[in-house]
Structures are given as structure tokens and as C-alpha cells.
A and B are shown apart, each in its own frame.
Chain A
Amino acid sequence: EVQLVESGGGLVKPGGSLRLSCAASGFTFSNAWMSWVRQAPGKGLEWVGRIKSKTDGGTTDYAAPVKGRLTISRDDSKTTLYLQMNSLKTEDTAVYYCTTDGLVVVPPACDYWGQGTLVTVSS
């Protein structure tokens, strides 16, 4: 059974940093493309970024609002995905979801989702 469990959310001041983790199990993590998607309170879904598998280059892509401030990485030995969040702004307040990207469907889509972790940026 595919499981994605996010952690690391919490309250942080504007300008601060936070690192989210997503522990993955039930599939071959090293072969998977992974994404982060966020949802501000009462708002719609916003794609944050994606990391490909190392086999496919391990490259990352980001949405414009987060580029240069948020960084996606992976540790295949720990089957864990990370989102390093720096220079946080109040508009980064959201539930952050970890997703697989095309694990079972082609072309890729966000086919499995974690339960999400809430990040609140406030003074």
C-alpha cells in the first residue's frame, strides 16, 4: 500500500525557514517522480514543484512564486522527500501535500497524496 506521510509543519515568522519531510513507503521511491502541492486556507490547489527520479536526471521545476525560496530534494536511501522553505512570506501559509507524480498513470498525474501538513507564516 502506497503511503505518504508529511511532517514538519508549524508556525513560523515571516522571513523564517522550515523544512517539510514526506516519508514514503509501499513503492520503489527511487524510481518515482515526486511533487509538492499546496492549498491556502479556503483556496484552491497550487502546484509548488516537482523532482524527477535520479534515473531521469533528478532535476527540479518550481512555480514562479516559490522559485529561489523553496527547494525540493530527496533522499532515496531514506525514501524521503523534502521541501526546504526559506524567506517565508505570509502568502506561503497553506496545507502542503506531498504527491507521487505518475507512479501508476502515464502521462504523469498526482496519483497518490499524503494527508498534508499545515504551515502558518505569521508574526
Chain B
Amino acid sequence: DIQMTQSPSSLSASVGDRVTITCRASQTISSYLNWYQQKPGKAPNLLIYAASSLQSGVPSRFSGSGSGTDFTLTISSLQPEDFATYYCQQSYSTPLTFGGGTKVESK
């Protein structure tokens, strides 16, 4: 199985900050990497698919990059509604696997 490792597991940031979350795969997954946002008590929401493609309706301050084993989710200017937990997921091969999550908290 492909293991997905996210870092950091949590971070504190302020509105307007640039935030970067990384995700590393235990083997190459090409660009089969997705990012999700989850707010407390809610279902996750797809933000980025295929490493860098923005899902419809997602604000352009979110961006994704990377290929192979190393990937990044960037929020260019953190907004109040962005405080949440973020997960990466590989869709290269089954079993599909998620990273452990990164909780973005208010500083």
C-alpha cells in the first residue's frame, strides 16, 4: 500500500498569511494526488485534483503543485473561512490512501 505523509500535522496562522502544507508519497504516484478541506462536523470538500487542478467553485487562493512523490498545497492569503483540516489522498492505485491531515488554526 502507498503511505501518504503530511506535514505539519498542525499549524497556527493569521488571516492574510501564506500557508503551505506538504504531502509525501511512499512511492511515485505521478500526479494522482487530491486535496480536501474539512470543517468540524462537516463532510470533506474536494479542493484540488490531479495535483494542481482547481475543483470548480474553489477560490483561486488555493493552489497545488508537485509530481512523483512530493506535493504541496498553498493558500496564498489565508481567509477566516480557511481555518480547517486539510487532507491529501493518492488515487494512483487501490487501496486509495489519505494523509493524516493538517489542522490550520488561528494564531
Contact = CB atoms under 8 A, between A and B. Distances in A.
Contacts of A90: none
Interface of B: 1, 32, 34, 36, 38, 43-46, 49-50, 53, 55-56, 87, 89, 91, 94-101
Interface stretch (A11-19, A24-32, A43-51, A68-76): A43-51
Q: How large, as a class, is the contact surface on chain A?
A: 20 to 34
Given A61-B95, A109-B49, 9 more contacts: A45-B36, A47-B98, A64-B95, A105-B53, A107-B91, A108-B91, A110-B34, A110-B36, A115-B43
Contacts of B94: 50, 61
Query: Which 5 A-B residue pairs are closest in the complex by CB-CB distance?
Result: A113-B43, A61-B94, A109-B49, A109-B34, A47-B96
A81 to B, nearest CB: 15
A111 B91 contact: no
B19 to A, nearest CB: 19
